[in-house]
Structure 1
Amino acid sequence: MARVDTKTRKKAEWLLRRAEGALLSDAVLAAEGAHLAPADAESRLGELVRERPELGLADRLEALARARGEVTRSKEYAERYGVAGVRRFLVRGGITIYLLPVETFPHHINNVYLILEPGHALLFDVGSGSDSSRRDLALGFAVVRDVFGEDARFEAIDTAIVSHAHIDHFGGVSDLKVRTAARLCVHELDARVISGFEERVVIATKDVEVFLRRAGVAEDERRKMIALYSASRTFFKSVEVDRALRDGDLVGGGHRVIHVPGHCPGQICLLVGDVLLTSDHVLARITPHQFPQAITPFGGLEHYFHSLAKVRKLDLVNLALGGHEEPIADLRSRVDEIAAFHRERLLKVREICDAPRSIADVCSRLFGPQEGYGTLLAIEEAGAHVEYLHALGKLRIANLDEVARSDDPVILYERR
């Protein structure tokens, strides 16, 4: 079967979430779901499925059509697929996890998790705080009440755990503090980002700028990248963190915090019964973004490889739920795939460095032309792999004399 490109897959998922709005009550559809326009979405989705049968959604679309207006089939559909992207997962011990899909930035979907258990209502991540993020959180809670019959409200959340300090996961904490009495919990290495955000932005921007100069990025491109880096960091103000988490801490009714640095210094997973909430540490389809320790300590591939091995050793994990994309049925196999992907990329980087190369040179040969925020993501990803190989002694600095003489040189690497 033909492979489905990411753009088409995302479009299909976007339309499917909206088409499923047909299963909501009129009251919810008129209020929290007013933006869904399910009839139009279903029509467009049908056209896409006919054009791209490799999406494999024909049966799902047929099941959705049968579920409309028929209570039993509607409930069966909801249990199997969810409604408007909201899905329910039952965990031993009377715990229920709801996946709430949230458009944190245009065309960028995060999974926020609502954990309901005796005595507690917890959120794992809170969205970005953007208008679309707040809209989709409101819709998610409405679906949980309307379709699944839970008395769940955002205002009743007593604990919010931020998985890591990337703004699509934590930007909504300002709303949280205003609208709830929830305790805000963040790993201690990322707590400072949220509670001292203005300071962090200044220092991180300087570190990124130094990295880009040494990577060999031209001045005009550096200015563009720095502007992109700073753009999404202007609308958030520092918020006090109530609890700084450490590896092994317990939250809620006894759910274990697992510190997994790499993608972010304070990245955590949360073990809820036999379900692991992996956030951006392990995702179902893409390999989570990496950046070098030269920008932020506790990032980099060395930490990431150790963190992958750490979750691979966990016993009795029957399901993993990521911060984006779909659930992961086989966590260990997915961890192995991600590790193998990075090992293969390291081999490619070493091959590229058959002659002296800057990180910008490596990036160009690895990824080709990039646009928008992709330019910054690509150079960081290339830098993480070059940094790791250099730390292992697989690459050496080719222009060491020039580096010694210059205050802030472009560094060239070649393989040993």
Structure 2
Amino acid sequence: MTPPDVLSIPTPPGPHPAQTNCVVLRDGAAVDLVDPGWDDPAALSALDAGLAELGLRLEDVRSIVATHWHVDHLSLAARIRERSGARILLGRPDAGEAGIPIDGLLDDGQELRLGGRTARVVATPGHTPGSICLDLGDVLLTGDTVLPAINPGLGLSVEVAGNPIRDYLASLDRIAREFAGRPALPGHGLAIDDLPTRCAELAAHHRARTAQVAAALAERPDATAEEIAPLLGWTGGWASLTDVTRMSALRQTAWHLELVGA
């Protein structure tokens, strides 16, 4: 089976990956896209140009799947729909965060016809409640659930139920078991050849943080998330966190506290 085409779509400057991998799946004259990118003029121009190099047009796009609701994956879809009439599809639990109308909601195990292939939806909550991967048969599209060089943030939605760290560890375990030996195309960065190893690395990162929280509690059993969070090994250090990332760190610390007490 011919591997899907991947276009590198730039994102605006900021504390996020510099590009998003937009997967292009062709079915004759029709095109299906996965994770088209950010609603930004430079991103739209890059997508237009990339499709043209493949002999395709934006007007040929018939469906768009976003692996989760974040703007660097989903928001350009609205602009594409204006030009092509494409349907926009998203994991059901992310529907309330989308910010644009969604044409179809996706559930675990659901099958889609994308680019002449049968794609299966694999629900992998953690990064967001509705994060999905797409099983294309020969390759797994992992969105931001498994990235090659970044530890994905967890629970990055306004409304979050349950414990995203617990959910994410279960998602990593599922991917490692079901897709061992399968290459992966992530939402950012280069392809991943060894999914079980990368999933184990990501899981170890979060288990180590839970152990840090447990150690802090052993010294101060009554410590709160606000008191423990500055003691943990955040990338760049606690002092470097912005208001948004600090709030995320506090939420994650509270979820680790739950895991310690489980």
TM-score, normalised relative to structure 2? 0.86
Gaps of 5+ in 2: none
**What per-residue deviation string (whole Å, max 9, x for no partner) do you get for residues 197-217 of structure 1?**
3xxxxxxxxxxxxxxxxxxxx
Q: Using the alignment, how far apart are the partners of 1:262 and 1:193 within structure 2?
A: 15
Q: Does 1:346 align with 2:250?
A: no
2:8 maps to which residue?
A: 101
Candidates 54, 63, 75, aligned match of 1:159: 63
1:386 maps to which residue?
A: 254
Q: Does 1:357 align with 2:248?
A: no
1:132-147 correspondence runs (5 A)? 132-142=42-52, 145=53
User: 1:260 and 1:244, CA in 2 relative to 1: closer, same or farther beyond 3 A?
Assistant: same
Q: Using the alignment, how far apart are the partners of 2:74 and 2:162 within structure 1?
A: 19
Gaps of 5+ in 1: 1-91, 198-238, 395-416
Q: Using the alignment, how far apart are the partners of 2:239 and 2:29 within structure 1?
A: 49
TM-score, normalised relative to structure 1? 0.56
Query: Retained in 1: the 8 A contact 2:4–2:23?
Result: yes
Higher relative contact order (CA 8 A, sep 6+): 2
Q: Using the alignment, how far apart are the partners of 1:245 and 1:370 within structure 2?
A: 39
Larger Rg: 1
Q: Using the alignment, how far apart are the partners of 1:191 and 1:139 within structure 2?
A: 30
Query: Retained in 1: the 8 A contact 2:29–2:60?
Result: no
Q: Which amino acid aligns with 1:330?
A: D
Shift of 1:393: 1.5
Candidates 309, 312, 321, aligned match of 2:185: 321
Higher share of residues assigned strand: 2
Q: Using the alignment, how far apart are the partners of 2:154 and 2:180 within structure 1?
A: 28
Is the partner of 1:261 in helix, strand or coil?
A: coil
Q: Using the alignment, how far apart are the partners of 2:143 and 2:118 within structure 1?
A: 19
Query: Retained in 2: the 8 A contact 1:293–1:300?
Result: no
1:243 maps to which residue?
A: 104
**What per-residue deviation string (whole Å, max 9, x for no partner) do you get for residues 205-241 of structure 1?**
xxxxxxxxxxxxxxxxxxxxxxxxxxxxxxxxxx322
Q: Using the alignment, how far apart are the partners of 1:393 and 1:292 within structure 2?
A: 23
Shift of 1:191: 2.1
**What per-residue deviation string (whole Å, max 9, x for no partner) do you get for residues 95-130 of structure 1?**
441221122221532111111245742100121101
Q: Using the alignment, how far apart are the partners of 1:104 and 1:119 within structure 2?
A: 28
Query: Retained in 2: the 8 A contact 1:249–1:257?
Result: yes
Between the aligned residues of both structures, percent identity stands at: 27
Is the partner of 2:178 in helix, strand or coil?
A: coil
Query: Retained in 1: the 8 A contact 2:22–2:34?
Result: yes
Higher share of residues assigned helix: 1
Shift of 1:293: 9.0
Q: Using the alignment, how far apart are the partners of 1:171 and 1:106 within structure 2?
A: 16
Shift of 1:384: 2.0
User: 1:242 and 1:298, CA in 2 relative to 1: closer, same or farther beyond 3 A?
Assistant: farther
2:152 maps to which residue?
A: 288
